Structures are given as C-alpha cells and as structure tokens.
Chain A
Amino acid sequence: MTTKSLRPRVLLVDDYPDAREMYSEYLEFSGFDVVEAGNGMEALQRAVDTTPDIILMDLSLPVMDGWEATRRLKADQRTKAIPVVALTGHALAGISEGAKQAGCDAFVTKPCLPEDLVREIRKILDRPSSSTAKARRSGKHAKTS
C-alpha cells in the first residue's frame, strides 16, 4: 500500500458514529488516510500507535474528553508535534478559548461541511512547521514497512 503511505494520515476522534463515518468517508474520498477513535483514551492510544499527521478532536467525548486528551497529547514527546484541530458543536463563548489553552492548534465549529473541514486540514498541513512531521512520519513509515 505505497499509495496509502503517501497519503496524509488523519486521526479522527468523535463519539458520534454518523459524523465520524461521514467525515471518514469524505476524507478517504479526498485522499487522506483516516484512523478513527471514539473517545479520548482511545485517541491517545491511536496517536502513539499510528503517528498521524493531524488530529481532528471532538471536545465532548466519553471516558476522556477532548480537552484532557489534547493536554496529554501535547505533554507527550512522541505526539507533541502533531497539530490538533478542535471540532465541536458547542458554540458557547469560552469553548474555543479553553481548547486553545489545552493546546489545540485550530478550532472548527460543527456543523462543518466535509469539504470545509478538508480545506481547513490542508491549510494546516501546508504550514512549513508540519512538513517536518510529515517527513518524520514518512521516515518512520519507511522504517516500519
């Protein structure tokens, strides 16, 4: 699956299966490699295991919420460099602020059309800082394969 290894990997964390499935399907359709997680704890595990290029993090999650998961990701040397995009249906003030404090690199409010989400992801991945991660992941990927 060389083609797959060239596709950027997205860790999609959402407890609502319909939404997770919808974004996952569209991201696959748009040329992304998608790893899914249903709660924060699972997300931490997947992030360490799969070293994604970007993490889409829903904030209200069972077991461990998105804020806590993000804080732990940013505290871990292995996952620290991976950009985290907060994804939430909560539009109340202070939410985005809290997300930034937890270490989120971007904030996207649901409802968010799949194509808008993809545009947002590309914008972040095209930043110069993320290219190193991409290269590291690529190298790692090459080592594992």
Chain B
Amino acid sequence: MPSPPAALLAVGAPRPAAKRQRTGPYTGVPRVRVEVEAGPGDDGELLSARLRLLEGFVGRSELADCAQLALQWLGEVLGIAQSICLVRPAEETSLFVIGTYGLTGSAVSRFSVSLEDWGNPLVTAFANRKEFFFPAPHSAADRKRRPATPFEDSAFQVLPLGVSGFSEDAFGLLLLGGSTAFRPQLHWFTNVFSQKLDQILRQQTLADGDRKQGRERSLLYNIINAVTDPILLTDAEGRLLIANARALTLFTASEEESEGRRGAVRMNNMLLSSALSSKAIEETGATRRELLLVNPVDGSDLVFELLSTITEDARQGSGVVSILRNVTDLRRASEEIEENYRKMRIAEVQARAESDRLNLIIDSVADPIVVTDAAGATSMMNEPAERLFTIPLQASEIEQRWVQNNDAHFSSFIAGMLVSADQRRVGEIGLSDPKTGEAMPVEAIAGKILSEHGELTAVVTILHDRREAIEKALLYEQLKQASDELERKIQAATADIAHQNELLRRQAIELEQASALKSQFLANMSHEFRTPLNAMLGYTSMLLQGVAGECEPPVKRQLGRIESNGRHLLTIINEILDISRIEAGRMPLQLSTFRIPELVSEVKSELEPIIMRSKLSVTLQLPKDLVPISSDRQKVKQIILNLLSNSLKFTHHGGIVIAAKRNVKERTVTLSVTDTGIGIASADQDGIFEDFRQLDNSPTRAYGGTGLGLSICRRLAQMLGGRISVQSQVGKGSTFLVTLPTKGRK
C-alpha cells in the first residue's frame, strides 16, 4: 500500500496519546489469542464446539458472515434462541444490525440504535461498555425504562463488544434473548467474537480509509486541474512536486515538442525559480506579485499575479505553494479603462475650455450680444447687453424705466423676427442709454440658429451702437471739409510755386543773357583795350629800333620798361579774355590728332628767349613710342605753355624737365613739368588752381602775373576730359601733372 500524501494522512491520524494513557501502556497491535482451554464445567463437547467456532472464524472475513456463524453457534451450543449483533461502522453514529438469530420480520431489519440518543440504555451500555439485563416488564413504568428492541417485552441481555486492553470504546452490542442472564460460557465467546470482529473492522477501516484517500486524492487533483489558474507545489530547493494541468502547459515540455515551445518552458521555469527564490518569500511567508511569463503555445506575453505560500510539513519538509493568476486580460482591461477615463477627462477639459473660450469671446465683444430661445425668452447675454437690458441694483425709478423701455423695444424686435420667415434680419432699434437716458440708436443684426432638423433653437442678436458711427460720419464730414480746404490751399500754393518757377526760369534766362552780355562786353572791352595798347607797343618798338633815329642808351632803357609793362598788360588782358570765353562757352573744342613731342618742342622754341634769359636747362623726356593723341591742339599747347612759363618764373636755379608717360589701361597720357623752384606748401596746394590766386597776394609781390594761368590750365584740362594736379615741397620744387585722354571726348 503506498503511503498517502501528508495532507491526506492527517485524516487517519492516531488518537491523541493522552487518552491512551488511561488504559495503561500501549501493547502494540493486538493479536487474536486462541484460547481453547475449557472453562469451569465444560466438557469435551463444549471444547469441540469452541474449536468449531474458531475454525469457522478463520475462513471468514465478512462481519455478517462471522456474526451469523457466531449467533448460530450461540443458539446451537448455548441454547440462546434469539440474538442480535449490532456494530458501529467507522464514521457512523448509529449501531447497525449485522446479524440476527431466531428473529424475523421487519422489526429486526429496521432495528438500529442511534448513539446520539443518550437516554437509551443501550447507548449507555455501549458507551460505558457495561453489561445489562432487561427482565420482562411488569408495569408501564418498567416498559418505559426499557429500550425498544425486536425483543419487545421479552427479557434480554446486553453485552458490549470491544477489545479490552486496546480500546476502551466498544464497537458493537450483543443482544441475547431469554431470561437467563450472565452465563459463564459467554465470557469466552464475547472475547473471541469481539477479537474477530475487531480484526475485520480494523481491516475494513483500513481498506475504507485507503479507498477514501484515493477518492479524495483524485477529487483533489480534479479540483486542482479544474482550476484555470496554474497551481504549483515546489520543495525547498524549488523542484516541482505537484502541478496542475494549466501549470504543466507552462512549465513542462516533452521531447517531441517544438524547440520554441521548449525554450519558452525553460524561460518560464527560470522566471518562476527566480521569483520563488527571492528573499521576499522567505521574509513574508506569502507574497502577491506580478510575474511575466511566455505563452509556449503562441509566444505571447502573459502577465500573472503570483501568490506564494510556504507550507510546513513534518514529514516532507517545507515547500512553496504557488498560485498564478492570469491578469493579462485584467491588466489590458484596466489599461483600457484608464485610457478611456483619460480620454474622457481630456474631452471634458476641452469641452470646458471651449465653453470658457466661447464665453470669453462673447464677453470680450464690445457690442451687446443677446441669445434668445424659440419662445422669445433671453437665454444668454454678454456684459454689454446686460447693461442695456438688466435693471442694476440701486437704480433710480427713471433708470428702471429706461431699461424697461429698452427691453420692450428689443422684445418687439425679436417677436417680429420670430414670426417672420427671414433667416436674418437687420433693423434699427431706438434704445436709451441706461445711465444717462440719452437716445441710443442701435443697429440690430439677428440670425436664427436652426437645429439639424430645421427647428428654430435660438436667435442670436448683435446690437451695434450707432452713435459712434453717426458721430464719425459727422467728424468725417468735418474732416472732409478741412481736407478740401487744405487741398484748395495746396492748389493755390502750387500755382504760386509754378508762378515762382516761371519767374525763376525767366530770371535764369535773363541771367544767361546777362552772362552772355558780360562776356560780349569783356570781349569788346579787351578789343578796345588792345587797340591803343597795340599803338603803344608798336611805337615803343619802333623807337627802340631807331626808326626815327637812334636813341640815347638811357632813353632806350626807359623805352624797354614801357615795352615790358605794355606786354604785361597785354598778357593780363588776354587771360581775362580767355576766362570769359571759357565761361561763356565760347571756346569750342577743335579736335585733331597730333604728336605730343612736336607740340612740346614747339612750346619750348616759342619760349626760347625766356629760357635763354633764365639760364635754366629745359630737358625733354619723351618716349619715342608715344602715340599721337586726339585732342584740341591749341588748348593742350596753351596748358603746356602756361605750365612751362610758370616753372620758369618760379625757378632760379637748376632746371625743368618735361616728361610724358602713357597709361595704356586708362587710355591716358600724363604730361609732367618738374622744376627745382621755390615749391608750394602742401596747405596751399589745393588753392593754386583757383581764379586770381597767387600765393603772395601782397601788393609788393615778387612775381608778376594775374594768377589766372593755373586756373585757365585747370579749366582747359577739364574741357578736354582730363585733370591737373601738383606735387610739391617748399624749397625743393614742384611737379605739375596733366592727364589727358588719348581719345578726346566729342
């Protein structure tokens, strides 16, 4: 017989030792003692009868069989005509008949004794293991004291059946009919019979227990297997002892299963072991936590709630019972609920924000807005509208009337709107300012709001204070008048300006004419100057040449003074004439192509007498490859003449170099006249090309000339599209540079 599991063993646990102590020391498992010795007064027949009984017991293992044999033996050997044997089966609370002798009828088959019936003398006999004799009753009272038995009013004897020394509790009763009580042979009989019954009962009990255990165990397994949650029992080392069907699919896999499934199982075992081996279990005894496993069937994640409880068992040591509850769906559902809740909250917040915003917008509109329902009752209005249509606290009587009037006017407007078929209506309502009573014409724009089914749900009316517009129109009119006035003034001013312009234009023409007249005048004047000067210079020259006879040397010297002064005067007149001609634009360009070296040589030869007198060297440095330039020859010549005269005038020692250099890139030629003269301070260099400028302006200046020479050179260079500049150092000399385009401008 396999040893039952600890839990199941507990059912058949031995009785407490304390109870056993009362009947003396435990003597071990009882054996059937075969006592065949004869009692007092027995004979050989009796002895053989006893042997017969014992032999009969040997082959029998059923209670009923034994009881039948024993009762028959009593009847035949001891002459007990009627007898009943009752036994209490294990777990029962009644004594049931297992055998009868000499009695028939339903009274016998139905007979049983309930052990809970404490008033029954049979129970007393059973419980206290006492023998009783019940004689035939003599009175009703006697009859009352007697238990109800198949013996009815006949006398009978009760003997408890039980094994002495092993158990003080009886397990059955023997009821023997007949008035003869306590026969000596009965002692041996009950002793042997009890032992035999005890043996059978004991074996039955064991077999029953075994069956029961098996039944309970399979029931337990069925229950465990019926549970959809995986349930596991593991030992202290984490080895799996018991697992239900659901747990087996998660934690076990046979060799035939796919590798993926086996891998999942391995993974699950690892996860479970680590969850169970963690200290948390040891510390708290039972835990509830989440465990994530893999579904070996489809590989999906499964979330379990793991409940582990440590069980202590004296025989098997401690183990851990784990129940896994699948909360995957639960969690998903909870997440979904959470998400829905969150969405609901957001929607609610948005709706509230929307409504707040709408209110804000409506309130922020400066124009009064009134929302009216289909019945014409006001359902909503913004603050400006409230001022118009709600009577304020502490309003005077007149103020109340103004507001009431406003309300009445508005109501009639709305009423008109409600009865009309118009979707939109624009009208003017004559309201009053609720503060001042001042007339307040407003423009009312009303629109109907229809439901999906086309039913009128509300009328929204926006009122617009027309006072401002009217005032604006007035202001606009004034502004327009002012603007018109301004425009008239501007037109007048413009006409004036045009007139002024015309005057200016005329003045300009007059000025031009005056300037031309001036130039003409200067030209004429110079002619008039030169005619007498011509005679003066001519006669002086003739006198010096001795046309009218030779003169004395002092006279000649004086005539020479006249001549040089006359020449100076002539130069001044010529230069003034040149300036006036340039200014009057009467010096047109006459372009021709010529060579610079030839021109420079010509200038040099013209000034040869002065050069001779000055005793200065004049050197020409002109490259041979200098291309001919196209310009006004006369004007270029005049520039070079002026510059060379100038250098000769202001140089006392050394020499003068005239050079030319071509700049191919700029398409220019630069002529330079360099002297070793007195030089010009840098502060004065800018001014020397201005009209009538000589550095020494004093009346007693050392150098003659009008101061117009360089000014004329600058003007001429500009006319030719060139420029003139100077580089000079006081005491060391000056270099004048004239840059001219190789192709003169048209």
Interface, chain A (partner B; CB < 8 A): 16, 18-19, 22-23, 25-26, 29, 60, 89-94, 110-115
Does B94 lie at the interface of the complex (its beta carbon under 8 Å from any beta carbon of A)?
Answer: no
Residue of B nearest to A92 (CB): B523
In the assembled complex, the Cα of A25 lies from the Cα of B523 at a distance in Å of 29
B570 and A111: CB pair below 8 A? yes
B535 and A18: CB pair below 8 A? yes
Residue of A nearest to B588 (CB): A93
In the assembled complex, the Cα of A115 lies from the Cα of B541 at a distance in Å of 8
Interchain CB contact (< 8 A) of B535 among A22, A91, A93, A115: A22
In the assembled complex, the Cα of A94 lies from the Cα of B520 at a distance in Å of 13
Known contacts A16-B531, A111-B570, A25 near B541 by CB under 8 Å:
no
In the assembled complex, the Cα of A91 lies from the Cα of B587 at a distance in Å of 11
- Chain A neighbourhood of B534, CB < 8 A: 19, 89, 110-112
B538 and A19: CB pair below 8 A? yes
- Chain A neighbourhood of B577, CB < 8 A: 91
Interface size in chain B (residues, C-beta < 8 A): 23
Known contacts A23-B538, A25-B547, A91 near B531 by CB under 8 Å:
no
A29 and B538: CB pair below 8 A? no
Interchain CB contact (< 8 A) of A114 among B531, B538, B570, B587: B538
B530 and A25: CB pair below 8 A? no
In the assembled complex, the Cα of A29 lies from the Cα of B530 at a distance in Å of 24
B131 to chain A, nearest CB (A): 187
Residue of A nearest to B547 (CB): A29
**Apart from A25-B542, A26-B542, A115-B541, what are 12 other A-B pairs with CB-CB below 8 Å?**
A19-B531, A19-B538, A22-B539, A89-B526, A89-B534, A92-B523, A92-B581, A92-B586, A111-B538, A113-B537, A113-B538, A114-B542
Residue of A nearest to B545 (CB): A115
B592 to chain A, nearest CB (A): 15
Interchain Cβ contacts under 8 Å between A and B, 7 examples? A18-B532, A19-B535, A19-B538, A22-B535, A23-B538, A89-B530, A110-B530
- Chain B neighbourhood of A18, CB < 8 A: 532, 535
Residue of B nearest to A28 (CB): B547
Interface residues of B in 599-639 (CB under 8 A from A): none
In the assembled complex, the Cα of A89 lies from the Cα of B588 at a distance in Å of 20
Known contacts A89-B534, A91-B577, A110-B531, A29 near B542 by CB under 8 Å:
yes
Of the candidates B530, B538, B586, the one having the most CB atoms from chain A within 10 angstroms of its own CB is B538
Residue of A nearest to B529 (CB): A89
B544 to chain A, nearest CB (A): 10
- Chain A neighbourhood of B539, CB < 8 A: 22
In the assembled complex, the Cα of A111 lies from the Cα of B538 at a distance in Å of 8
A85 to chain B, nearest CB (A): 15
In the assembled complex, the Cα of A111 lies from the Cα of B568 at a distance in Å of 12
Q: Chain B 558-590 against A: per-residue CB contact (8 Å), 1 yes, 0 no?
A: 000000000000100010010001000011100
Does B46 lie at the interface of the complex (its beta carbon under 8 Å from any beta carbon of A)?
Answer: no
A71 to chain B, nearest CB (A): 22
B537 and A111: CB pair below 8 A? yes
A90 and B523: CB pair below 8 A? yes
- Chain B neighbourhood of A92, CB < 8 A: 523, 581, 586
Does B80 lie at the interface of the complex (its beta carbon under 8 Å from any beta carbon of A)?
Answer: no
- Chain B neighbourhood of A113, CB < 8 A: 537-538, 541
Interchain CB contact (< 8 A) of B541 among A89, A91, A114: A114
Of the candidates A23, A26, A111, the one having the most CB atoms from chain B within 10 angstroms of its own CB is A111
In the assembled complex, the Cα of A89 lies from the Cα of B542 at a distance in Å of 20
Nearest 6 Cβ contacts at the A-B interface: A111-B534, A18-B535, A89-B527, A22-B538, A89-B530, A110-B534
Does B391 lie at the interface of the complex (its beta carbon under 8 Å from any beta carbon of A)?
Answer: no
In the assembled complex, the Cα of A6 lies from the Cα of B674 at a distance in Å of 53
In the assembled complex, the Cα of A9 lies from the Cα of B618 at a distance in Å of 43
In the assembled complex, the Cα of A131 lies from the Cα of B476 at a distance in Å of 100
A89 to chain B, nearest CB (A): 4
In the assembled complex, the Cα of A16 lies from the Cα of B532 at a distance in Å of 9
Interface residues of B in 124-164 (CB under 8 A from A): none
Residue of A nearest to B587 (CB): A93
- Chain A neighbourhood of B545, CB < 8 A: 115
Interchain CB contact (< 8 A) of B547 among A26, A94, A110, A112: A26
Known contacts A25-B542, A25-B547, A26-B542, A90 near B527 by CB under 8 Å:
yes
In the assembled complex, the Cα of A16 lies from the Cα of B570 at a distance in Å of 19
Does B533 lie at the interface of the complex (its beta carbon under 8 Å from any beta carbon of A)?
Answer: yes
Q: Chain B 498-536 against A: per-residue CB contact (8 Å), 1 yes, 0 no?
A: 000000000000000000000000010011001111110
- Chain B neighbourhood of A90, CB < 8 A: 523, 527
- Chain B neighbourhood of A19, CB < 8 A: 531, 534-535, 538
- Chain B neighbourhood of A94, CB < 8 A: 586
Residue of B nearest to A58 (CB): B531
Residue of A nearest to B527 (CB): A89
B172 to chain A, nearest CB (A): 177
- Chain B neighbourhood of A112, CB < 8 A: 534, 538
In the assembled complex, the Cα of A90 lies from the Cα of B532 at a distance in Å of 13
A80 to chain B, nearest CB (A): 29
In the assembled complex, the Cα of A93 lies from the Cα of B541 at a distance in Å of 28
- Chain A neighbourhood of B538, CB < 8 A: 19, 22-23, 26, 111-114
In the assembled complex, the Cα of A59 lies from the Cα of B23 at a distance in Å of 191
- Chain A neighbourhood of B570, CB < 8 A: 111
In the assembled complex, the Cα of A18 lies from the Cα of B537 at a distance in Å of 12
B692 to chain A, nearest CB (A): 20
